[in-house]
Structure formats: structure tokens, C-alpha cells
Structure 1
Amino acid sequence: MLKSLLSVGGFTLLSRFSGFLRDMVLGAVLGAGFAADAFVVAQRLPNHFRAIFGEGAFNSAYVPSYSRVVQYEGVAGARIFSGQIFSGLLASQILLLALAWAFTPAFIDLLAPGFRADPEKFQLTVTLTRITFPYLLFITLVTLQSGTLNAHGYFAAAAFAPVLMNLSMMVFLGLAFLFPNAGSAASWGLTVSGLLQLALTSAAASRAGILEKIARPALTANVRQFLSTLGPAVIGSAGTQIALFADTIISSMLPTGGPSSIYYADRIYQLPLGVIGIAAGTVLLPEMSKLLAAGKPNAALKAQTRTMALSLALAAPFFVAFIMIPDSIMRGVFLRGAFTAEAADASAAVLAAYGFGLVAFVLVRSAVASFQAHGDTKTPMMIALTAVAINVALKIVLFTPLGAVGLASATAVGAWINLVLLAFLAIRRGAMKPDLLLWKTATAVTTASAALAAFALFAALPIERLVRGLGRFADASELVILGLAGAAVYGVVLFIGLRIFGVKLRR
């Protein structure tokens, strides 16, 4: 399982690195003005629906259901099952696309009501949303095929697929002179990438002999069981998206550049969240599902705690960096072209607020697997809705005094509430069992994090002075030096701590 986790993490890291390049191009071309705000909302609408009906909800219901069908009916029966689900998804997504195209202005009024005050921004957002929405259809089908591949232990294609999105958008941005504006070019790049990703996962599933066998949707026992778990999963996933919808709605009322500052901070924040948290959840859920189906509950619990220990060790240095040097990060990555120093400062404040919730967000995916691997999607749903209710209430309270920073702070608080409630109930039910390895790892990680924070506190200013004479390369050089030196400090202290406690995470 560790090999699979590192494989997914490696490909996801490649995806995030290419995503960095994509966002650097976006920042340089679009900056943080009204065109960037329009694109942020245009790509966020299909991505909200993708997260509700696709990745989050679908995988949590589909992977355990598919694993059970493979266990009892073999690959042939599983191909028919996946084909029935594929047909149903395709029909539902075509209907949703038609509705989105017909009522795009109403969707924008709902999602970004503040844009109505600027007719040019509103109309551009409507146009870009109509371009980006077909991406949802393609990526939802990609999610199904990714779940099928993951259930059979094939992780590479699904983990690599997002790289195609980043490459596609960069190519289209490079051809922006052929489009009305750069936002239009980026939107077309996003939609075309969905088709490319679908081609990739289809080819991978075909080579593995597990490509779905297209079948007419039918309410078989397997499909009914899948739907019974999908409903609560959709509600639970929608709960998280409600908080993100609230971010978009409220941020649209900020001055121009507000939605963009949240977007750019979120892109940095998503690096460890995607590489570590999502990779861990992607590998852990099918692993626990298979072990439980095989009657090995203790092995499933050990797999979970080891995954959480490794996730914690990998996420902690990002947490320290986001809290201690957010300005250096945003300036080093984005400060060029149309992306100004003022935009970097605004995004840095949002990144620091997001950072307080990073560890919780990373561990939530592993904690949710405690319930999903047992086919229980209702409990995570109720917990998610509780956390979201508190999250949204805090957003409303903090928006006026803190602006975009208040929205990010509320998101961080909601993540911790979600994790604490999940862990509490899972431990009570015996679905999670933190062992000595986890506690030893947490102690070593805390010590290494303290050392890293001290290094960042005392080294940031001398390094800034050192690179000051490098001109336009100063910010990027400062970030690289801080990052490499900080990684060395954290790695050495963590290695020593793990050796003292006798912890070997590779086993």
C-alpha cells in the first residue's frame, strides 16, 4: 500500500507542479483583475458540481460497491455493473449540461451576486461558464473509470490525468492571441482537457481488461445498494461544497481582485492537500474495503493508522511554511507580469488563514475512510453538514471585519470540527484505532515542526538580504533557498526523532 501511496503521491506531485506552472502563467497573463475574477467563477461552477456528484460522493459510494461486486461476481460481473453506472452518469450529466447552458445567467446570479454591479464582468463570466461547463461531463466519467482502476490497484493513469488539464490550459494560454481574451483561452483549455483525461483513463482501463461494458441502466441489487450509499454521500459532499459556494458568493461582493486572491492562495494550499491528503484517501479506501471484504479488520485498521502517520509527517512542513512565510511563497511563485505586489500580499494573508486548517484537511480523507470502507456514508454526511453549518455561520460573522481572510479562517475551523467529530465517532465504534506508532510519529513530527518554525523565524530576514541584489529573481531565489534549507532542517530532525522512537514508516 505504501508503494501505491507514493505512486499516487508522485504523480499528484507532478500534477501539482504542472499546476503551479499553469497558475504562474494565469497570474502573469490575467493578474488579479476583473478578467481573472470572471475566470475563477467560471471554472468554479463546474468544479463545484464535479466535487458534489463526481470525486467526493461518487468514489465514496462506488469503490466499496465495485470492490464487493468483484469479490463475489468476478471481473465480468463488475464490468456490467460499472457499465450500468456509466450509462446513468452519462444521461444525468447531459441533462445537467443542458440546464446549465439554458440558465447560466441565473447560476451566476446565485453563485456570484456581486458581479451584477459590473455588467462587463458579469457578461464575461456567463460566456466563460458556458465554455467550461462541458468539462463536468467528461471529468465525471473520468472519475468512474478512475475508481474502477483504483479498485484493481491501478493508480498511475488516474493520478496522471490532471497533468493533462494543466498542459492543455498552458497550451491554450500560449495561443491566447487566437481568442477574444486570455480567460476564454483558459476556459477552452479546461474543457478540452476533460476530453483528453477521459481518453487516457479509457485507454488504461481497456489495457487492464476492466473497461466498463456499456449496459442499459437497471435497478439490480448491486445498483440499488450503490444508490443507497450514493444519496447520503452526495448530501455529505454537497455539504462541503456549500461552504465553498459561500466563499464564492461572499467573495463576489469584495472589491475587484477578492475572488482572485482566494483562488491563488487556494492553488498553493491545494499542493499538500492534493499530494498527501487526496492521495492517501485514494489509496486507503480501496485498501480498507478489500481487507474488510476479506475478513481482515485488524489489517484494515493498521493500514489506516500507518497512512495517517505518514500523511501527518508529510503535511506538517507545509503547515509551518504557510503560517511562517506566506509572503515569501506568494511573491516567489506569482509576482510577475500582471500579478502585483499588492495582489501577492492579499493572497499571502489568505494562505496563512488556510494554513491553520491544513493538517485537519489532510487527515479528514483518512478518517472518512473509517466509515466509507464499511459502506457507511450517512455518518460522514451528518458530520460534514454539522461542520459546514458552523463554517458558513463563521463566514458570515468574519466576512465584514476580515474580508477574504475571514472566509479562509472559517474554512480552517470547519475542517478541524469535521476531523474531531469523525475521529471521535470512529474510535467509539472501533472503526479507527490510533496505535503507538501514530502517537510516536506525532511526537517526532511536532518536534521537527518546532525546529522548522524556529529556522523560518530567524533565517527569513538574512536570506532576504542575501538575495536582494538579484533583481527580478530575488523573490523566487528567496523561496527556493528557504524551501530547500527548511526541508533539510525538518527532514533531519524528523529522522532523528523517528529513530529515537524506533518508528519505521516504510514497513
Structure 2
Amino acid sequence: MLRSLFSVGSFTLMSRVLGLFRDMLVARYLGTSMYSQAFVAAMRLPNMFRRIFGEGAFNTAFVPLFNRELADHGPDEARNFASNTFSWLATVLAVGTLVIIPGMPWFAKILVAGFEPEKYAITVAYSRIMFSYLLCMALSAHLSGVLNSLGRFSLPAFAPVLLNVLMLGVLLIVVPIAHLQGSLYHVGLWLSWAVCAAGFAQLGMLWISCKRHGMGIRLGKPKLTPRVRRLLVIMGPAVATAGVQQVNATIGTQIASMQDKAVSFLSWADRLYQLPNGLIGVAFGVVLLPQITRLVRSGKELEARERMKEGIAFAMLLTLPAAAALIAAGDEFVAVLFQRGQWTASDSYATGLAVAAYGFGLPAFVLTKVLLPGFFARENTRTPLKLALITVSVDVGSALSLYFFFRQWGIGHFGVALATSIASWVNVFLLTRGLRGFLQIDRALVKKLARTLIAAAISGLVVWGGSRGLAGWLAGVEWQRWLAAGLLVAAGGGVYGMMALALKATSLAELKAGFRR
């Protein structure tokens, strides 16, 4: 399992590092101006629909059924099934795109009703350009599901790199050559076109890869076959689940839009915590779903259970130290990454608060990705829907109460981020209960998680103390800030590694065995 995770994680790391570099340049040019707020809000709309109809809902239903076709009827029938579902998805998304782009002034109100007229108009303009990204990325997610089912994880993990490469091209080449540094609206406009182009580039690359691996997907007239009906039956609750989660995120954005710059603070904080979440959570979710599906389909349910417990232990081994570091020194890391140009020290402090709040929920975000394959591999999408409805009610209630509570100190966005983390832990508790009979949390796993938590807490204290000792360098010139941040990461990581081995949270033999599987 670790070998596949390493394959996915290495390309995801490349994408996230390039993404951080991209975000540093975006922060330098746009800061937390209304153009920055409009751009990040505009990206949320296609991402929201992509997660509902693309990778989130569609693939959770598609991957188990595609694996069944592959195992029971062979590659030809599996290819026909994939082509038909691809055609259905393309048709639905194309119709939706043709409806939403002209109606963008109305649809944008879903996210940013609190924006003033000028900022709202800019958001609409950027959204219209970027919305075709939805069509491309949802179809790309489908093709990634095909490749992952074939045991091909590298290229789907590499595909998001193209988005960052094109956006960096705009920031490093187009903006300086065209002297757009003072025209913030046009910087956002060029970035929007880069997002649009990246969607088509990723789709083309994955389509070619499927063809090379004997799964050439053909676009044709969609047919309502019994297999497609089964897909719709399973996908219905999955779409509703993803829709509930995105409605939840949308409500959080709406609440935050009542505070100036809050949407930007949350967005930049999201970028930072998504680095470990993407490396660990997404990688585990991508690898575990097809693996557990194959084991369940082969009647090896006991082995599937062990694989999930192994996934939980390894996921927390990687996640808990990252969460500790974000809580201990979130604002310091934000300052090193983004504080230059139009980005101010107060922006770093406000964003750092949200980073710490998300850091508290980071283990829960990752655990959710690990636990959900236990439902989807058995074609159970109804239970996650019921649990998502409960989680959303917790999140909305918490976000409203915590936002207004913290707003009196001017940090209402901290309450919104904290509510998301609280709701995620509630979701983990509910998912674990829902997997009773399949997932058994035994004493050995609890001991291992407890030891991992202790090691992570000690490493967090080291990072916190180090950030105080290196405060002068963290506020110094560019090279001092980067060196100080590197020392903090090295010290925290080194102490964590030694403590994890000393406390027997893991062992070298266990890690080697994980790479062999």
C-alpha cells in the first residue's frame, strides 16, 4: 500500500509545492484586495460543482462498478461501460455549463451575496471564464477513476501539476512582460484564463493515457443501460452527500463574506492545510477505494478490514505531526510564505488563526477520506448521506454561533474555520459507528494511535518553542525567514521521528512491510 501511496503522494507533493509557490506570487500581486477575494471566490463555484458531480459523487459510485465489470466481464465490457458513463457525464455537464455561464450573475449569489457591487461584478467576470474548468475536471476525475482501477496512480496524481504550471506561467512571464503589476483586475483575468486552459490540458492528457492502457474512452450517444441505472441508484445518495457538504462549505463562505477580507483569509488558510491534507488524505482515499473494492469483491473481507486499519494507523502517523505544526506556528508559516508585496503582517496573523483552526481538524479531514471507502467499496452510499446531514447541521449551527461570538474581536472567520473542524470530528465519530461490523477498532490500534499522538504533541511543543526562539529571524530578511522556517520543520520532524520510534508508534520493519504491499 505504501508504494502506491508514495507514487500518488510524490506527484501530489509536486503539485502542492508548485501551488504554494503560485499562491505566494498571487499573494504578492493581489494581496487580500477585492481582486484577490473575487478570484478565490470565483474558483469556489466550479470547484463546488466539480466535487458534487465529478470526483466526489460520480467516482465513489463509478469505481466499484467499473471494478466489477472488469472482474466479471473483462476489459471490453468495462471499456464500454466507462465510455457510456463518460458520455452521460459529458452531456449533463455540457448542458449545465451552457445554462450556468449566462446565468452567472444569479449563480454567484450562492457564494458571495455579501460582496459589494464592484467586487461582485469582478467575481462574475472571473467565474464565467473559469466555469468550463468544471466540465473538464469532472471528466478528468472519471478518467482518473478508470486509471486508478487499473492500478495506474501516477498520471492522475500528476495531472493537477498542469494547473499550477500554467498559472505560474502567467505570474512569472505574462504579468512582467505585459507590465500588469499595477493592473490587478487584468492579473486576475489572465489567471482565470490559465485555469480554463489547464482544465482542457488535463482532460486531454488523461484521455490519451487511458487509450494507451487499453481503455480508450469513446464519446457517443448516452444509453440508459441496466448498469447505468445501477450507477444512478448508487450515485443518487452520493450526489446528495457531496451536495450537502458543498452547501455546508457555501454557507461558511456566505457567513465569512460579512467580514471584510474573511473570504481571502479562509481561502489562503485552506491552501496551507490542504498541503498535508492533499498529500495524505487524498492519496489514501485514491489508493484505498480500488484496493478495498477488489478485496471485498474477492470475498476477502477480513483482509479488507485489516487494510483499512492499516490505512488509519499510517494516515495518522503522517497527519498528526503536520496538524501539531500548523497549530503551534501557523501564523509564522503564513508570514514566511505570503508576507511580501501587498500582503501585510495583520493579514498573516488573521490567516494564521484560521490555519490553527483547520490544523485542529486536519486529522479528521484525513480520517474521513480513509473511512469512506469502507462504505463505497460495498456500494453503500446511503449511510454517508445520512451522516453528512447530521454533520452539516452541526457545522452550520457552530459556524453561526462561533462567527458572531468571535466577531466582537474582529476574528469571525476563525469561528467559521473552527466550526468546520468540529463538524469534521463529529463526522469521523459517526462514520466509525456506521462501519461497526466491518471496522473493528482493537486495543492494538488504539495504543498505536495514542503513541502517535504523544509523539506529535512533543514535536508540536518543539516547533512552538522554536518559533519563539527564532522570532527575530522569522521577522527578518527573506533568507532568514526561510532558513528559520526550514529549521522549525527539520527540528519538529526530527523530534517526531525519534519519538515515534522510541514510543513504538511504528517501526522500521513495519514501514518496510508497508512498502512491499
TM-score interval, normalised by the smaller of the two chains? over 0.9
Q: Aligned partners of 1:197, 1:223: CA distance in 2, in Å?
A: 25
- Residues 207-216 or 265-274, more deviating: 207-216
Corresponding residue of 1:76: 76
CA contact (8 A) 1:305 1:435 kept: no
Trace 1:26-425 onto structure 2 (pairs within 5 A): 26-115=26-115, 118-174=116-172, 175-176=174-175, 177=178, 181-255=186-260, 257-402=261-406, 403-425=412-434
Letter in 1 for 2:19: G
Q: Aligned partners of 2:205, 2:445: CA distance in 1, in Å?
A: 37
Deviation at 1:114, TM superposition (A): 1.0
Q: Aligned partners of 2:512, 2:242: CA distance in 1, in Å?
A: 32
TM-score after normalising by structure 1: 0.96
Does the alignment pair 1:444 with 2:448? Answer: no
**Gapped runs of 5+ residues in structure 1?**
none
> Matched residue of 1:254: which SS?
coil
Corresponding residue of 2:409: none
> Matched residue of 1:102: which SS?
coil
Q: Deviations over 1:335-384 (max 9, x none)?
A: 11111111111100111111111111111111111111100000011101
Q: CA separation of 1:342/1:470 partners in 2, compared to 1, >3 Å: closer, same or farther?
A: closer
CA contact (8 A) 2:289 2:373 kept: yes
Deviation at 1:424, TM superposition (A): 1.1
CA contact (8 A) 1:277 1:365 kept: yes
Letter in 1 for 2:301: P
Deviation at 1:207, TM superposition (A): 1.2
Deviation at 1:276, TM superposition (A): 0.3
Deviation at 1:14, TM superposition (A): 1.2
Deviation at 1:462, TM superposition (A): 1.6
Q: CA separation of 1:495/1:77 partners in 2, compared to 1, >3 Å: closer, same or farther?
A: same
Count of residues in Structure 1 that have an aligned counterpart in Structure 2? 501
Q: Aligned partners of 1:303, 1:83: CA distance in 2, in Å?
A: 31
> Matched residue of 1:269: which SS?
helix
Q: Aligned partners of 2:191, 2:506: CA distance in 1, in Å?
A: 50
> Matched residue of 2:159: which SS?
helix
Deviation at 1:211, TM superposition (A): 2.3
CA contact (8 A) 1:441 1:503 kept: no
The percentage of aligned residue pairs carrying the same residue is: 36
> Matched residue of 1:434: which SS?
coil
> Matched residue of 1:210: which SS?
coil
Q: CA separation of 1:69/1:486 partners in 2, compared to 1, >3 Å: closer, same or farther?
A: same
CA contact (8 A) 1:440 1:498 kept: no
CA contact (8 A) 1:269 1:355 kept: yes
Deviation at 1:501, TM superposition (A): 7.8
Q: Deviations over 1:404-423 (max 9, x none)?
A: 00110110011001100000
Corresponding residue of 1:504: 510
Q: CA separation of 1:473/1:100 partners in 2, compared to 1, >3 Å: closer, same or farther?
A: same
CA contact (8 A) 2:328 2:461 kept: no
Deviation at 1:181, TM superposition (A): 1.3
**Aligned residues: CA RMSD:** 1.7
Deviation at 1:439, TM superposition (A): 2.6
Q: CA separation of 1:219/1:89 partners in 2, compared to 1, >3 Å: closer, same or farther?
A: same
Deviation at 1:330, TM superposition (A): 0.5
Letter in 1 for 2:294: K
Q: CA separation of 1:505/1:472 partners in 2, compared to 1, >3 Å: closer, same or farther?
A: closer
Deviation at 1:109, TM superposition (A): 2.2
Deviation at 1:124, TM superposition (A): 0.8
Letter in 2 for 1:378: R
Q: CA separation of 1:178/1:87 partners in 2, compared to 1, >3 Å: closer, same or farther?
A: farther
Q: Aligned partners of 2:345, 2:476: CA distance in 1, in Å?
A: 17
Q: Aligned partners of 1:15, 1:469: CA distance in 2, in Å?
A: 28
> Matched residue of 1:409: which SS?
helix
Corresponding residue of 2:461: 454
Deviation at 1:499, TM superposition (A): 7.3
